[in-house]
């Protein structure tokens, strides 16, 4: 992969991954998950886990790095959704 393509992947991964940070902070502070869909987050976390595995299989640093972080962030929201019911 060319360096410029990898940087595009890194920027895209950064932006889409860190979009979850405000949601994680809000849920943690308010302990409110009423408006969060359990099925959506369950499916999403599973999909991100599969993207992470795919990225590892093909050796793509941007896919592995940002899907690992997204998995943790979205997984945290999912865990809080289950815990704060």
Low pLDDT (below 50) residues in the chain: none
- CATH, range 3-83: 1.20.1280.290
Domain ranges of the chain: 3-83
What is the C-alpha separation between 71 and 47, in angstroms, rounded?
9
In the prediction, which pLDDT does 51 show? 96
* C-alpha Rg value of the chain to the nearest Å: 14
pTM: 0.88
Centre a 10 Å sphere on the Cβ of residue 74 and count the other Cβ atoms it contains: 24
Q: Which residue from 20, 17, 19, 4 is spatially nearest to 55, judged by alpha carbons?
A: 17
Tens digits of residue pLDDT in 49-66? 999 999 999 998 889 999
């Amino acid at each position: 992969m060319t360096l410029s393509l990898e940087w595009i992947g890194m920027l895209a991964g950064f932006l889409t991954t860190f979009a979850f940070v405000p949601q994680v902070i809000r849920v943690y502070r308010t302990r409110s998950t009423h408006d969060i869909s359990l099925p959506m987050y369950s499916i999403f976390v599973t999909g991100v886990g599969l993207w992470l595995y795919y990225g590892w299989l093909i050796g793509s640093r941007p896919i592995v790095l940002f899907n690992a972080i997204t998995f943790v962030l979205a997984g945290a929201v999912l865990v809080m959704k289950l815990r704060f019911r």
